């Protein structure tokens, strides 16, 4: 089968069909981490500013998407979800089985992508917005004829902008509810923590800096210590102390239940979109 032709990891060229912010974040991360030199990455755009954003760090920028596909071995479809079908159908004659196709379009299923492309060598990846600062939480699912080697290759690319997990595609709506929408929940929490600091007498700048760094530090501890977050919480909450007084207020307000409901509500909305 043509689909088993391996991608040559030391020479393959990576193309982005769609030159938006997410594509730029991935490209920059891949170059910065040394996974791929800029000379082996290409994209296309007609807008001067978008062209400049990519060419400024050495990426080849074409006029048309078909040139990107023709000159690439791995093609990342990074256009907006509502135009994915139109773009893939236009490029279909070029999307041959020797190319590994990747989609980062939210809510667009592998079965549809494979049908439109006439090619089952597809991997669907869901990154999130912290990819812009190299701290993405991404999840990938392999399509029909994508090989384990293909999966390893894509994991290395997306590992350059954060952390990546592999999961069954049926879990992607829940992934959307948690990591896709989750950054917004944390931004709200940072804003509220800073407001609390101001209410307690801190200057706004100091309160916001402390709130942001506190969230960053707590997340780093959760990732790096290997301890359950409940244990980390217990480590901070000394008997009759300040922390347990604050936790008591959070529990009275239904803090955990509200966050659980937020994830479930976003996941449910994602399922609704998928049905349309």
- Answer whether residue 63 is part of any domain: yes
Q: Residues near 83 by Cβ (< 8 Å), separated by ≥ 6?
A: none
Average pLDDT value for residue range 164-179: 96
* Cα–Cα dist 38/86, whole Å: 28
Question: pLDDT tens digit string along 108-162?
Answer: 999 999 999 999 999 999 999 999 899 999 999 999 899 999 999 999 999 999 9
Which residues fall in the annotated binding site?
65
For 39, phi then psi, to 5°, come to -65, -20
Q: Do residues 164 and 27 both lie within one domain?
A: yes
- Answer whether residue 141 is part of any domain: yes
Q: Do residues 24 and 92 both lie within one domain?
A: yes
Which residues fall in the annotated binding site for NADPH?
65
Of 120, 152, 172, which residue constitutes the final position of a domain?
Answer: 172
Question: pLDDT tens digit string along 56-112?
Answer: 999 999 999 999 999 999 999 999 999 999 999 999 999 999 999 999 998 899 999
Residue 159, CB half-sphere, CA atoms under 13 Å: how many? 11
Asked if 190 and 212 touch (Cβ cutoff 8 Å), the reply is yes
Of 103, 138, 172, which residue constitutes the final position of a domain?
Answer: 172
Q: Do residues 167 and 185 both lie within one domain?
A: no
* Cα–Cα dist 67/89, whole Å: 15
Question: pLDDT tens digit string along 13-70?
Answer: 999 999 999 999 999 999 999 999 999 999 999 999 999 999 999 999 999 999 999 9
- Answer whether residue 97 is part of any domain: yes
* Cα–Cα dist 27/17, whole Å: 12
Of 172, 193, 218, which residue constitutes the final position of a domain?
Answer: 172
Structural domain tally of the chain? Answer: 2
Average pLDDT value for residue range 224-253: 97
Q: What is the mean pLDDT of the chain?
A: 94
- Answer whether residue 115 is part of any domain: yes
For residue 225, give the DSSP letter: S
Instruction: Please tell me the predicted confidence (pLDDT) of residue 2.
Output: 46
Q: Does residue 272 surpass a pLDDT of 90?
A: no
Nearest to 264 by CA among 130, 272, 137: 272
Q: Does residue 3 surpass a pLDDT of 70?
A: no
- Answer whether residue 142 is part of any domain: yes
Segments forming the whole domain that contains residue 95: 14-172
Asked if 7 and 100 touch (Cβ cutoff 8 Å), the reply is yes
């Amino acid at each position: 089968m043509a689909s088993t032709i391996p991608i040559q990891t030391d020479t393959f060229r990576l193309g982005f069909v769609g030159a938006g912010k997410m594509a730029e974040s991935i490209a920059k991360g891949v170059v910065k981490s040394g996974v791929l030199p800029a000379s082996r990455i290409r994209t296309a755009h007609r807008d001067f500013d978008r062209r400049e954003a990519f060419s400024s760090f050495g990426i080849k920028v074409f006029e048309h998407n078909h040139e990107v596909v023709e000159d690439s071995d791995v093609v990342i479809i990074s256009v907006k979800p509502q135009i994915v079908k139109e773009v893939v159908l236009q490029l279909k004659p070029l999307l041959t089985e020797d190319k590994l196709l990747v989609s980062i379009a939210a809510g667009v299923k592998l079965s549809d992508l494979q049908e439109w492309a006439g090619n089952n060598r597809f991997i669907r990846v869901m990154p999130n917005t912290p990819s812009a600062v190299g701290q993405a939480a991404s999840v990938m699912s392999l399509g029909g004829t994508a090989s384990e080697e293909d999966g390893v290759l894509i994991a290395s690319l997306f590992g350059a902008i954060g952390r990546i997990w592999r999961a069954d595609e049926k879990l992607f709506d829940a992934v959307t509810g948690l990591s896709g929408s989750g950054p917004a929940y944390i931004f709200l929490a940072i804003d509220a923590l800073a407001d609390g600091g101001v209410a307690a007498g801190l200057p706004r700048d100091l309160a916001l800096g402390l709130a942001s760094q506190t969230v960053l530090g707590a997340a780093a501890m959760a990732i790096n210590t290997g301890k359950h977050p409940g244990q980390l919480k217990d480590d901070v909450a000394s008997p009759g102390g300040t922390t347990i007084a604050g936790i008591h207020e959070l529990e009275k307000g239904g803090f955990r239940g509200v966050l659980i409901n937020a994830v479930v509500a976003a996941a449910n909305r994602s399922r609704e979109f998928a049905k349309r």
